[in-house]
């Protein structure tokens, strides 16, 4: 198995588009290489109504079956309060394009601790309880199974389909 993580964080939209195009070329030339786009491929400033158009370059990469996307920093994309409903449509478009098995939940905890008002439980429940378009199977893929399979980590069959731990546990 080959694996690569790709962050597309250039300073402007033109450079970002070039980065996404480059990732697409690498994905085509190396179909056995698993590529994971970090932070949804977004750049700073992609917030609120600017998020959906800003994710178009990332969504274009979904045509490559070896490209995956981390859904990290999602709460940072909204100026609204929890559950950040104003960005759910953009996230839905991204998840539908890649499909849940190729979308990986994450927080970017260092950002959450330093410049976010989102708590860890909210980062979890935003996906597990607030996005009503996600099925139980979708949540299982997004919340861990997809990443485990991408990395060829064992997935414990007894855990599949079980509810996630209560996120309030992490409030301590």
pLDDT digits (tens, 9 = 90+) for 108-157: 888 777 888 899 999 999 999 999 999 999 999 999 999 999 988 887 65
pLDDT of residue 31: 93
pTM (predicted TM-score): 0.83
Which residues of the chain carry a pLDDT beneath 50?
A: 9-11, 158-160, 169-172
121 CB contacts (<8 Å, ≥6 apart)?
Answer: 167, 168, 170, 171
Where do the structural domains in the chain lie, given as residue ranges?
2-171
Q: Which fold has domain 2-171?
A: TIM Barrel (3.20.20)
Q: Is 51 exposed, middle or buried (0-12, 13-18, 19+ CB in 10 A)?
A: buried
pLDDT of residue 158: 47
What the block records as the tokens of 8 is 């597309």
CA distances, 162 to each of 16, 125, 152, 157, 166 (Å): 39, 15, 20, 10, 12
| 3-state DSSP assignment of residue 52 | helix
Give CA torsion, residues 2, 97, 91, 17, to 10 deg.
70
């Amino acid at each position: 198995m080959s694996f690569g993580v790709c962050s597309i964080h250039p300073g402007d939209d033109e450079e970002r588009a070039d980065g996404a195009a480059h990732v697409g070329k690498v994905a085509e030339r190396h179909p056995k290489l698993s590529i994971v786009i970090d932070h949804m491929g977004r750049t700073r400033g992609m917030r609120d109504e600017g998020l959906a158009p800003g994710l178009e370059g990332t969504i274009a990469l979904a045509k490559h079956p070896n490209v995956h996307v981390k859904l990290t920093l999602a709460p940072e994309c909204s100026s609204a309060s929890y559950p950040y409903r104003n960005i759910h449509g953009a996230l839905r478009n991204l998840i539908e394009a890649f499909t849940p098995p190729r979308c990986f939940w994450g927080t970017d905890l260092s950002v959450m601790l330093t410049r976010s008002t989102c708590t860890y439980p909210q980062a979890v429940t935003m996906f597990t309880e607030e996005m009503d378009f996600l099925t139980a199977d979708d949540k299982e893929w997004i919340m861990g199974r997809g990443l485990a399979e991408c990395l060829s980590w064992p997935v414990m069959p007894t855990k599949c389909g079980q509810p996630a731990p209560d996120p309030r546990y992490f409030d301590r």
